[in-house]
Amino acid sequence: MKTIDLSHTISIETPVYPGTEPPVFSTPCTIENQGFAEKRITLFSHTGTHMDAPSHILSEGKSLDRFPTEKFMGKAAVINLTHIDRTEIKYHDLLQYETRILKIDFLLLYTGWYQKWGKDDYFKKYPVLTAEAARWLAGFPLKGIGVDMISVDQTDTYPIHRVFLQNEILIVENLTNLSELPDEIFSFFCFPLKIQDADGSPVRAAALISE
């Protein structure tokens, strides 16, 4: 077995959603002065590779700490969408994968957009699901949807977020290294921090692959 890390490193240079403040790091405790090192970290809950809870968008939605740990792990598959040269991922782009989607808990959409991480283009004209495609996916008993973009929405009304989160399908954004995943079902883990009333949290997303 081998693992594939699907998470970006969080640093002061981590790209953040426009309007969000970047992470702030300081080191109030050092080995030289206190005998141990300890950092102070200030960041928004949707920084880096992170998970959206229903409470991120829905006033009555669950926060992440209200879900059991098994919600954050399961069988997964990746769909390669790198051949699509438009900003919409349509229903017919996904239909051929229906049989596989029925067997998994997490669907990861690989567009190749993560290769723009750290560049201004990362925030511009990234591909997103159409409402029809999102509603179709929400009809499956999925635990979550993962993408290698900054968001599943292009507009500030967040229609795609609503489709998934109303069905308690968690959203994992800013995934990376999806090109390393095999064209088969694998194990996927994306544990958030257990923060009270968390509307979101950075996650260490990873795949476990049989060799």
Q: Which domain holds residue 88?
A: 2-8+47-209
Whole-angstrom CA distances from 101 to 30, 94, 148, 184 are 49, 9, 18, 11
38: phi then psi, degrees, rounded to nearest 5 = -150, 130
**Which amino acid, one-letter code, is at 65?**
D
Q: What is the pLDDT of residue 210?
A: 85
Q: What is the pLDDT of residue 188?
A: 98
In a domain, 134, yes or no: yes
Q: What is the pLDDT of residues 141-191, one digit of tens each?
A: 999 999 999 999 998 899 999 999 999 999 999 999 999 999 999 999 999
Domains of the chain: total: 1
Q: What is the pLDDT of residues 120-135, one digit of tens each?
A: 999 999 999 999 999 9
Q: What is the pLDDT of residues 182-211, one digit of tens each?
A: 999 999 999 999 999 999 999 999 999 987
Residues 6+ apart with CB under 8 A from 57: 158, 161, 162, 165
In a domain, 188, yes or no: yes
- Mean pLDDT for the chain? 96
In a domain, 158, yes or no: yes
In a domain, 107, yes or no: yes
Q: What is the pLDDT of residue 1?
A: 87
In a domain, 42, yes or no: no
| CATH number of domain containing 191 | 3.50.30.50
Could you tell me which of 199, 206, 211 has the C-alpha nearest to residue 51? 199
In a domain, 40, yes or no: no
In a domain, 19, yes or no: no
In a domain, 16, yes or no: no
